[in-house]
Each structure stands twice: as C-alpha cells, then as structure tokens.
Structure 1
Amino acid sequence: MARKQQQKVPALNRNRRQQVQAENDPRFRQDEPRPIHPKRNTAPLIAQTAKQKQYIAAIQNFDVTFGLGPAGTGKSYVATMIAADMLDRGEVDRIIITRPAVESQEEFGFLPGELADKYEPYLAPIKEILYERLGKGATDYFVKSGRIEAIPLAFMRGRTFRDAFVIFDEAQNATPGQMKLFLTRIGDNCKVVIDGDAAQSDIPNSGLVDAANRVSHIPCVRVITFDRSDVVRSGFVSEVLAAYASD
C-alpha cells in the first residue's frame, strides 16, 4: 500500500505560526515588561527612630494625628502600613486617601479618562505601600469594591468620614480653607492621619501648620514633629536636607 504523502506546510504559514507562538510565550514578550510588585510584607511594624515610635503610638491611640517634618522620615509609610493592618483585621471598613492635586490646580477635566484615572498619579505612592502590606490582589480587590478609596480634595464637600482610616497625604499643599473643609468631614469611629512637610509647600499660603496649631489642644489630637535626624530613607537624603537647610 502506498504511503499517504504528508502535506507540506507552506514556509510562510509555518513562520507565522512560530511567530504567534513566540508572541504568546511570556518568555519572549520583551516589548511588554511585566510590573514588578514587592513580596507581601507581613512582618510587625517596628519603629526605626524614637520619633517614629511616638508617631506609631499616636496613630494607634489618638483619633487625629499630624505628622509634620521633612521627606524620608516615614510619615506616609507608617500611616499607610497601620491603615492596611486595620483594614485587614476588620477594625475599619475602609481606607480613604486624599491629597491636594496642586499640579492641575484641582482641575481634572483636561486629563484623559474617568476621575479615578485622573487621580491615579496622586494615589500611586500610597498604592505602592498598600501593595507591599496587603499584596496586589487584595489591594486591587479593595479598590474595586470601594473599601480603598481615593477622593480628590476638591470633591470633599458634603462627605462624612465614618468607620474609616483616612490619610491626608502631602497636606502642606492645602490652603487653610481646604484644611478646615477636610477636618470638618471627620465623623464617628474614624482614624485620621495628616502628614506633610511645610518646607516643601508648592503654594504660598499653606494651611498645614496653621491647622495643627489650631486643633492641637483638642484631647483626641496629637501632633508629631520630625526633623532631619529622623530621616530613614537614606543617608543621602539627610545630606540633601542639610545642604538646603541654609536657604
């Protein structure tokens, strides 16, 4: 019996099939780098400086904590780690994050996408810390379900914070009026951290220190002030701050 002649695959089709297989193989997709997220950090939060220890204790024991001082002292990092832990343990229903959108002067209309897309650049630094503490999957789930919410400062009016951990990041770029607006949103069972560096304000009339001074006498409020000796980001940052201290 004559053997059935094997049908030849045209070279063009064979090459195209190999190309498609390569495109679908993640080992060969060098044109689309995969995002790298840190492994989830579940270790207990340990203060790296005496002032950080005071800051952690203040957040845990007071309703409203101001963290004032230079960059690299862990103000945002510590607050976000504690917020993530409280959300994970069910001690708060959600995390609310806000910061002034100074670069766009609180005007989001000219930026592409929906409001969440427009505000994404301002949420990104906090989101990286949430990824570290909760993991990317859990963080994305909480964001989609509304349990982690980013609210532009311009959209605060009429809101009330309840059963939430609220982080007001980069508050040195808020005016006195915006600080008053934010502080009057705080409702029951709410933990609030307001952080910023008055020396790095991008506006002429920052309301951060003014607000801290006005409400520091209230029993549920604690103000923690960091200085250059509390910088933990790197020795280089300490040197940079020292170099600019004379200005």
Structure 2
Amino acid sequence: MYNSSDDITIQKVMSIADNIESDKENQLISMRIKLPYLGRSIQMKTISQGEYLYKMQRSDIVFASGAAGTGKTFLSVAYAINLLSEGRVERIIITRPVVEAGESLGYLPGDFKEKISPYMRPVYDALYSLLSSDIILRYTEEGKIEVAPLAYMRGRTLSKAFIILDEAQNTTVSQMKMFLSRIGEKSKAIITGDISQSDLPNNVESGLENALKILKGINGISFHHFDKKDVIRHHLVSEILAAYDNAGK
C-alpha cells in the first residue's frame, strides 16, 4: 500500500539538504594539520579555514585573499611544515615583495639583511609559533627553510617545494607572473594577500587582483576568499574593519 509518509515534499528535501550541509561543515571545521615536531595538531577554527585547508590539500596552486587575522599565512605555513615533516616536499620557501613605505631602504641603517628584516618579520612570527628556534636555525642552514624577498625568486626554478607568496597584493602584474613561472615539478604554491591593503602607487595594478581576474577556470588552481567574519583575532577586530569599510577608508 502507498504510504503517504514517503511523499517527497519541499520540506523533506530541504531537511535532507540541511543535514548534508551540516555534516560537511562539521567535517571541515574538524580538519586538523598535524605538527609532528611539536607533537600536536592545529584544528580549524572556522568552516572557511577548513575549506582553505581542503583546497591546499587538493590543488597545486591556491590563491587565498581576505582580511588580516583570518589565518591565511599561518595555516599555509603550518601545512607546509606538515608536508616537510612527511617528506612530501624537500623545502619550504616563503617570500614577500619588499614595498618601501615612507623610507627608502638605502637610508635605513644596517646591511641588506637588517634592512629587509622588518618586512619579513610576520613570516618569522608564524614559523616561531610552529617550530622551535633550534629547528628553524638548523633547517635554514640546511636550506630546508628559506625566507627571502620576492626579488630573490627571479631566474630560479623551485621544484619539490612548498612555496608561499605572502602579502601578494603588493606585487605588480609582472612580479606575479614572474613568481608563478618559478613553480617547478612536485611543488605547491600558496599566494596570500588582501587586495584592500595594497601599498602600491595608485596607478599600479596589483598582481594579486589581476591574477584573481585572469586565472579563473584553470584546472589545478583554487581560489579562496576569507570574509571579515572569519577574523580570529580579538573579537572587536572584525567590527573595526567593517566600520572602516563603511566609512570608505
């Protein structure tokens, strides 16, 4: 006999869809990055972070854009360390464009390494929060970890590496093209940045913004955008950012 309880209704379909979506979200937020060196793992704090990790696992090139404090750089560094510890890459290369704001490098005190140190400091902050200073020093000396300005990437082929381009909104179009053409066999590249925070002159197009427009649809490249609700710094930070946006600043 026909059972009316088996009728397919909009409500039932919506309920099933909600359950599937809920299961997917639970799986994403429960994803972890293992850090064998520290004997612990990092669990995702937002669904968006889980989606980001999922894309890093499955794509050779990932563009991650969005506000500061969403975990774009931190999670990419953590995942790079995970792959290095498992022998799936031979080295980690983290690079940033050096954009002068206010003072010319030539007028800053110290040698070149000392002059660029402030630009690279956020990258080292991420590394030191994930690895001991002894391991970082040893791996730097062995060439397993390299932190360098983007200009140092020119002319190189980066194979069997996990490459992170941080603050990519400060690249020019030609710099972005140069970086992407450095990627060699068995490498992964993560490009992070916030196009609303470019330090480039007003008449210079951001390489990140350009890449987000022209590289869509290429197999093997993923794109991920973090919203302000994904900011995981102090709870007021996302509200502050929203207020500045509303004021057009």
* Structure with bigger gyration radius: 1
SS at match of 1:151: strand
Residue aligning to 1:148: 145
- By percentage of residues, which structure has more strand? 2
C-alpha distance in structure 2 between counterparts of 1:187 and 1:222, whole Å: 18
Change (3 A) 1:104 1:156: farther
Q: CA deviation at 1:156?
A: 2.2
Structure 2 matches for 1:94-243, cutoff 5 A? 94-103=91-100, 110-203=107-200, 204=202, 205-243=205-243
Contact 1:69 1:198 in 2 (8 A): yes
- State the TM-score, normalized to the length of structure 1: 0.78
- Percent of aligned positions with the same letter in both sequences? 43
* SS of aligned partner of 2:118: helix
2:48 is matched with which residue: 47, 51, 62?
A: 51
Give distance in 2, aligned partners of 1:221 and 1:78.
Answer: 18
Unaligned runs of 5+ in 2: 1-36
CA contact (8 A) 1:42 1:133 kept: no
Say whether the 8 Å CA contact 2:101–2:199 is kept in structure 1.
no
Shift in CA distance, 69/154, structure 1 to aligned 2, threshold 3 Å: same
Cα separation, 1, equivalents of 2:81 and 2:65 = 21
- C-alpha displacement of 1:104: 6.5
Q: 1:180 to 1:96 in 2, by over 3 A?
A: same
Which stretch shifts more, 52-61 or 40-49? 40-49
For residue 124 of structure 1, report the CA deviation from its aligned partner: 1.9
Give per-residue Cα distances to partners, 1:218-238, cap 9 Å, x unaligned: 111000011111111121211
Residues 171-195 of structure 1 show CA distances to partners (whole Å, capped at 9, x for unaligned) of 0111111111111111101111000
SS of 2:42's partner is coil
Q: Distance in 2 between matches of 1:122 and 1:42?
A: 30
Deviations 1:135-165 (A, max 9, x none): 1110111112221112321232211110101
Query: What SS does the corresponding residue of 1:155 show, helix, strand or coil?
Result: helix
The alignment covers a number of residue pairs equal to 208
Alignment TM-score, normalising by the size of structure 2: 0.77
Equivalent residue number for residue 32 of structure 1? none
- The one-letter amino acid of 1:72's match is G
Query: Once the 2 structures are TM-superposed, how far is the Cα of residue 87 of structure 1 from its aligned partner?
Result: 1.6
CA contact (8 A) 1:96 1:166 kept: yes
- Code of the residue aligned with 1:154 in structure 2: it is A
In structure 1, runs of 5+ residues without a counterpart are: 1-39
SS across alignment from 2:192? strand
Query: Which residue pairs with 1:29 in the alignment?
Result: none
- Verify the 8 A CA contact 1:74 1:233 in the aligned structure 2: no
Which region of structure 1 is more displaced relative to structure 2, 67-76 or 210-219? 210-219
Q: 1:115 deviation in Å?
A: 4.2
> SS state of the match for residue 80, structure 1?
helix
Residue matched to 1:68: 65
